[in-house]
Structure 1
Amino acid sequence: MADLKGFDSKDSGQGRSVSTDKTADTDTLGLKNPAFWYSGGFIIVFVLMAIFAEERLSTIIDLGFTWSANVFGPFWQLLLLATFVIALAVGAGRTGRVILGNLPKPEMDNFKWMAILFCTLLAGGGVFWAAAEPIAHFVSAPPVYAETADIQQRAFNALSQSFMHWGFLAWSIVGSLTAIVVMHLHYDKGLPLKPRTLLYPVFGDRVLTGHTGAIIDACCIVAVAAGTIGPIGFLGLQTSYALNTLFGVPDTFTTQLIIIVFAIALYTLSAISGLARGMQILSRFNVILAVALMAFIIMFGPTKFIVNGYIQGVGTMVHNFIPMATFRGDEGWLGGWTVFFWGWFLGYGPMMAIFIARISRGRTIRQLITTVCIIAPLVTCFWFTVVGGTGLAFEIANPGSVSTAFEGFNLPGALLAITQQLPFPLITSLLFIILTMVFIVTTGDSMTYTISVVISGEREPNAIIRTFWGIMMGVTAIVLISLGEGGVTALQSFIVITAVPVSFILLPSLWNGPKIAQQMAHDQDLYRPNRVETDHRIAEEKLAKENITKEID
């Protein structure tokens, strides 16, 4: 184990990272960093195989996906569950008062901070999946729940299963213990903002330099790039489908190309503008629009069902939390649902930890854990209830009104089937399409920024490297959808394979996170009685001495 006290604790994060990782001025793209070539080269090979050997690539991906899900699925389920439980313990204890990032107060106000968190982590999947997943579990009950003739209970069970996939465990793995480790090692010890830093407590200096560290970074870059390129591609496919359904716009590659190019321009410009401008503006807009749409649906939609569905859905999830989190009875179903989602979120883990570390300076551990592990999941569950629960209510009232549109796993079809049954259907549908686009744009800009941070070794990468990675991911998505939906689907599935090495990068945070939190609590004198308690005790002792003196006299 590496000695975490090997660096001056007064270092604010400049010393080590600057001397080791800062590239020369002429290396604007980070070409001297081997991680650039490993990750970029792999993506190029993937695209070339998709173009010239699509069947072979599909076979490799399918085999790798099945192997990863079956062999590592149990490990991932335990990893996510342990991360959540340990994170809650760290946040609830005295370590929760630790201030992160070597700043006395947050550098970003609460609304901006939470808006960026929600929009980055929920992403576009939180719109289409919010509509589609509850109806999928309603049509075909999850194996952890028995089939029931009570249609209302069946709907609540469907919401509960959706909450499990997008709730506490999903959020905790992308930014709780790992964020604590990264923030301490970077801001207090001066280590670089890179995935390899997560393994420094285990391997020491060996992991900070050379090709080993570069390979670790490259694995995480490929995982998060796959998880970002996939949604960008699906944005083109799904938005094109929606525009064709609503306005008769041809659902062709040209339409998809225009949509993706527009998205590339938005998230690249946002990434260039930085955390303080574009990302905050887009995130604030998206949160306001999402809240407005929720208020509209609650007011004019099935209000009673939404309220009942949220309360009982959350209650059912909490009641069955451990059985759902540890369910192993149907590996085929798990590979298509729970393990698939866990692999997806694991792939984002290290890079999201870096991004959260970058925007969370001055926050306490308790603020971070409470927001990421409790508040955000509960808000996400409410969002799923408003959108997906409305679809379930419509389906119960009019069987087939949503499930028919969803046939063939048509995610945008399910969303449009719901919005078309609400008041002002055209306007509502358009607003949801805009919401989806901005969600994906906010994910695109944050991941473009984070990849650029890792490649450049700087907290504020230059505009050229941000532009390069933003355009590169978008162009990759365009190339893949030009081959048909299969190319994007293969890349989306590939993130589950990349989750295998990434999960081992995240694993040490289970014990390093609490250890570092305790060390920081000692450094910040949080284990001493607070001043009020001390003064009160001194006063009592003084009064007792005075009483004894009087009695002697």
Structure 2
Amino acid sequence: MNQAATPASRTSTVSRWGDPITLVLSVGFVLLFIGLSLYDLEGVSDAISIGFAWTAATLGTYFELLLLATFFIGIGVACTPAANARVGGLDAPELSTFKWLSIIMCTLLAGGGVFFAAGEPVYHFLTTPPAFDTEAGTAAAVSDALAQSFMHWGFLAWAILGSLTAVVLAHAHYDKGEPLRPRSLLLPVLGKRVVDSPVGSVIDAVCIIAVVAGTVGPIGFLATQVSYGLHEIFGFAEGLPTQLSILAVLGVVYVTSAVTGINRGIQTLSRFNVFLALAIAAVIFVFGPTLFLVNTYVQAFGEYLSSFFTMATMSSQTAPAWWMKWWTVFFFAWFLGYGPLMAIFVARISRGRTIRQMIVSVAILAPIATTLWFTLLGGSGIHYQMTGVFDLTDALANFKFDVATLTIAQALPGGAAMALAIMVLTSIFVATTGDSMSYAISVVTAGHDQPAPAMRAFWGITMAIMAAILLYMGRGQISALQQLIVITAIPVSLVLLPSLWTGPKAAYAMARAQGIVPARASGVAD
């Protein structure tokens, strides 16, 4: 097999400085959101809340079906002979398996997975999810609580981030020489003339806006969480100055990582965090409620599989509207918003991997690892809640997940040391999301996969500054920005939708080009 040529970097003004329309629209959104918030904070929050509620009630089922279809079609592709095709046509992967999986886990799971891993299962234990009828707070509710968390962070969430879409982008980029941009996902549908027009620039900008909204939120909430943790553990003053200091340090870390690139900064942070996560997991498993965790995981995973479709197809007609809005629809829309740029990142780091390796790792192995992590943290939290070590009822009723995470962390083996380790872990997870998304956004605006370090730094600094301004305005405005991602998921979902049929076609096109399947075996055209 011959090594496929990497698409040449363009030397035009647009390539060097980025697509001006995409850049103006995406930066303009940041300035507009901040400007309107400064002018009428309450008005902006109210408008977003109305749009958030409407989107959740009207399009929640559509989001669910899109994630379901993406997962099952992606697994179907992975089971075909075409899945033996290699991304970029290389005989061997560019990254080792450990490095590759580390980057995938740390980038796609991100700080959200750590932030919610402790508190979400306990919340569902104390407030029975609508898919189940067990009595809250009882032993029978344990497996249901974890199963619901698995649904939000499991197979469907991961599949939308880099399975079919990554195949489409890999084919467009490595085989056809198209840039790694969200608009390339629509090339088979709209054609090159439309995709290369201002319409394509708008598509890219919408996807960037969704990622900015989804990334700035965790960055801001991390600052509040770490500030609270440092106050509780070390007695540091809690407040805006501490939060801004934490944000500055985090920004320096992930901007430096983004500037140094995938093979240095991003890879180094990811490897470190994987080792730290494994160490934390080992301590919890060995010195924590081991038997309870083992039994709970087996039961919860079984419940996850048996109640899979019930949980995945809940709607505001069968569940309380407030619950759907703040849980399943919110999470699914959040992952949808990340979908195009995460797919760009997965396609970029997976050169030399087979299509099967890419899909199975993203849509099967990574979700299983996530369920284990949720069981260790959240399962331990449920155990301590049941045994009276603490009571998180009031904190979680008010959605104070920073309080829940720290309380659970301090109850784990190691106490304050474990709490500090989990804060570091969460911080680096958020940093890996910040650096990877700064890189991915820069790839989109530049039009090639070697964007200038200054451009990567610009986007990293922009997101940090936006988080700082919103922190100054109050946590409510960060929440408003996170609600906005549910609204931005509407146009982004339309960008992802065609991959349900273009993904399998792209896989077979790659396989035919590499001589893996004959043209007559696919039954589809390029």
- Normalised to the residue count of structure 2, the TM-score between the two structures is 0.95
Cα deviation for residue 13 of structure 1 reads 4.3
Which residue in 2 is equivalent to 1:401? 391
Alpha-carbon separation, structure 1, partners of 2:395 and 2:205 = 40
Q: Does 1:212 align with 2:202?
A: no
Asked whether the 8 Å contact 2:144–2:303 carries over to 1, the reply is yes
- Counterpart of 1:259, as a letter, is I
Cα deviation for residue 14 of structure 1 reads 2.0
Asked whether the 8 Å contact 1:405–1:417 carries over to 2, the reply is no
Q: Pick from 246, 251, 254: which aligns with 2:241?
A: 254
For residue 152 of structure 1, give the secondary structure of its aligned residue in structure 2.
coil
Structure 1 205/52 Cα, relative in aligned 2: closer, same or farther at 3 Å? same
Q: Does 1:97 align with 2:84?
A: yes
Asked whether the 8 Å contact 1:220–1:347 carries over to 2, the reply is yes
Alignment of 1:477-516 (within 5 A): 477-516=467-506
Asked whether the 8 Å contact 2:258–2:435 carries over to 1, the reply is yes
For residue 468 of structure 1, give the secondary structure of its aligned residue in structure 2.
helix
Cα deviation for residue 497 of structure 1 reads 0.5
Alpha-carbon separation, structure 2, partners of 1:286 and 1:426 = 19
Q: Pick from 221, 230, 233: which aligns with 2:208?
A: 221
For residue 237 of structure 2, give the secondary structure of its aligned residue in structure 1.
coil
For residue 41 of structure 1, give the secondary structure of its aligned residue in structure 2.
helix
- Counterpart of 1:12, as a letter, is A
For residue 303 of structure 2, give the secondary structure of its aligned residue in structure 1.
helix
Alpha-carbon separation, structure 2, partners of 1:493 and 1:29 = 31
Cα deviation for residue 323 of structure 1 reads 1.1
CA deviations on 1:180-222 (whole Å, 9 max, x unpaired) are 0000000000011100000000011123322100100000000
Alignment of 1:183-202 (within 5 A): 183-202=170-189
Asked whether the 8 Å contact 2:128–2:136 carries over to 1, the reply is no
Asked whether the 8 Å contact 1:224–1:351 carries over to 2, the reply is yes
Q: Pick from 158, 165, 184: which aligns with 1:178?
A: 165
Alpha-carbon separation, structure 1, partners of 2:3 and 2:139 = 58
Q: Mind listing any 5+ residue stretches in structure 2 that lack a counterpart?
A: 520-526
Asked whether the 8 Å contact 1:401–1:417 carries over to 2, the reply is no
Alpha-carbon separation, structure 2, partners of 1:423 and 1:164 = 28
Structure 1 496/300 Cα, relative in aligned 2: closer, same or farther at 3 Å? same
Asked whether the 8 Å contact 1:391–1:402 carries over to 2, the reply is no
Alpha-carbon separation, structure 1, partners of 2:413 and 2:514 = 55
Alpha-carbon separation, structure 2, partners of 1:298 and 1:405 = 26
Cα deviation for residue 527 of structure 1 reads 2.7
Which residue in 2 is equivalent to 1:12? 5
- Counterpart of 2:303, as a letter, is T
- Counterpart of 2:336, as a letter, is L
Cα deviation for residue 403 of structure 1 reads 3.2
Which residue in 2 is equivalent to 1:358? 348
Alignment of 1:114-193 (within 5 A): 114-148=101-135, 151-193=138-180
For residue 420 of structure 1, give the secondary structure of its aligned residue in structure 2.
helix
Cα deviation for residue 148 of structure 1 reads 2.9
Asked whether the 8 Å contact 1:23–1:457 carries over to 2, the reply is no
Cα deviation for residue 408 of structure 1 reads 1.6
Alpha-carbon separation, structure 2, partners of 1:527 and 1:212 = 35
Q: Pick from 83, 107, 116: which aligns with 2:70?
A: 83
Cα deviation for residue 10 of structure 1 reads 9.4
Structure 1 285/453 Cα, relative in aligned 2: closer, same or farther at 3 Å? same
Asked whether the 8 Å contact 1:11–1:189 carries over to 2, the reply is no
For residue 404 of structure 2, give the secondary structure of its aligned residue in structure 1.
helix
Alpha-carbon separation, structure 2, partners of 1:41 and 1:362 = 37
Q: Does 1:66 align with 2:53?
A: yes
Q: Pick from 40, 43, 50: which aligns with 2:27?
A: 40
Q: Does 1:24 align with 2:24?
A: no
Cα deviation for residue 404 of structure 1 reads 4.4
Which residue in 1 is equivalent to 2:381? 391
Q: Percent identity?
A: 47
- Counterpart of 1:218, as a letter, is A
Say what the alpha-carbon RMSD is for the aligned residues.
1.7
Alpha-carbon separation, structure 2, partners of 1:524 and 1:142 = 48
Q: Pick from 399, 417, 424: which aligns with 2:414?
A: 424
- Normalised to the residue count of structure 1, the TM-score between the two structures is 0.90
Asked whether the 8 Å contact 1:100–1:362 carries over to 2, the reply is yes
Alpha-carbon separation, structure 1, partners of 2:49 and 2:391 = 33
For residue 458 of structure 1, give the secondary structure of its aligned residue in structure 2.
coil
Structure 1 149/284 Cα, relative in aligned 2: closer, same or farther at 3 Å? closer
Alignment of 1:315-464 (within 5 A): 315-328=302-315, 329-330=318-319, 331-398=321-388, 400-464=390-454
Cα deviation for residue 45 of structure 1 reads 0.3
Which residue in 2 is equivalent to 1:50? 37
Which residue in 1 is equivalent to 2:223? 236
Cα deviation for residue 492 of structure 1 reads 0.8
Aligned residues: 515
Which residue in 2 is equivalent to 1:283? 270
Cα deviation for residue 407 of structure 1 reads 4.2
Asked whether the 8 Å contact 1:36–1:455 carries over to 2, the reply is yes
CA deviations on 1:439-464 (whole Å, 9 max, x unpaired) are 00000000000101111112111111
Asked whether the 8 Å contact 2:137–2:386 carries over to 1, the reply is no
Comparing 205-214 with 361-370, which one deviates more in the overlay? 205-214
Asked whether the 8 Å contact 1:227–1:347 carries over to 2, the reply is yes
Cα deviation for residue 46 of structure 1 reads 0.3
For residue 285 of structure 1, give the secondary structure of its aligned residue in structure 2.
helix
CA deviations on 1:504-547 (whole Å, 9 max, x unpaired) are 00000000001111222222222369xxxxxxxxxxxxxxxxxx
- Counterpart of 1:341, as a letter, is F
Asked whether the 8 Å contact 1:227–1:492 carries over to 2, the reply is yes
Cα deviation for residue 149 of structure 1 reads 7.2
Alpha-carbon separation, structure 2, partners of 1:147 and 1:118 = 33
For residue 101 of structure 1, give the secondary structure of its aligned residue in structure 2.
helix
